[in-house]
């Protein structure tokens, strides 16, 4: 499988790995049956994502997409973070092999899940803002071939 230099860099040197204590929003997506689980932590100040961390259990592409997704939302407004799509994550990584595209879907969903948690904690229904969160790996196109 051919991975871009950016994918290899983000896999070998992932950015923003870890947890945030007292995070304003935490989102976990994925499914152990697929082999990929992403957990994202957000610190939000005045509508801006001031810090973001992630923990991913999965293949190299899942780690790389998590890392890139955190880079794309760090320092951005909630509105801009919600515009980060799986396509944007893939493009920022200079593409992914077709069998690994589902990993970028999980990255987008992890951002949305963390923001949904943020709004829920504030007593605001997140669905009109964030949209529906799909956590089932079958919705993301994963074939279970990810492997660990």
Choose the catalytic residue: 34, 59, 142, 146.
34
Nearest-angstrom CA–CA distance, 92 and 72:
9
List the one residue out of 110, 94, 108, 97 whose CA is nearest residue 10. 94
103 catalytic residue (yes or no): yes
Give the C-alpha distances (Å, rounded to integers) separating 4 from 1, 10, 57, 89: 10, 10, 21, 13
Which of 59, 103, 137, 142 is an active site residue? 103
Q: Is 146 a catalytic site residue?
A: no
Say if residues 27 and 111 touch (Cβ distance below 8 Å): yes
Beta-bridge partners for 45: 48
Q: Are 148 and 35 in contact (CB under 8 A)?
A: yes
Locus of tokens 């995070």: 23
Is residue 12 packed enough to be buried (19+ CB in 10 Å), middle (13-18) or exposed (0-12)? exposed
Q: Which are the catalytic amino acids? A: 34, 103
């Amino acid at each position: 499988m051919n991975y871009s230099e950016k994918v290899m860099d983000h896999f070998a040197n992932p950015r923003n790995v870890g947890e945030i204590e007292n995070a304003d929003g935490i989102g976990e997506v994925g499914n152990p049956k697929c082999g990929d689980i992403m957990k994202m932590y957000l610190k939000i100040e005045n509508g801006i994502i001031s810090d973001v961390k992630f923990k991913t259990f999965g293949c190299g592409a899942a780690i790389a997409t998590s890392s890139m997704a955190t880079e794309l939302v760090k320092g951005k407004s909630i509105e801009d973070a919600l515009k980060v799509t799986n396509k944007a994550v893939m493009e920022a990584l200079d593409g992914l092999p077709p069998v690994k595209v589902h990993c970028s879907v999980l990255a987008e969903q992890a951002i949305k899940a963390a923001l949904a948690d943020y709004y829920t904690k504030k007593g605001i229904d997140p669905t009109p803002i964030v949209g529906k969160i799909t956590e089932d790996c079958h919705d993301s196109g994963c074939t279970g071939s990810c492997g660990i």
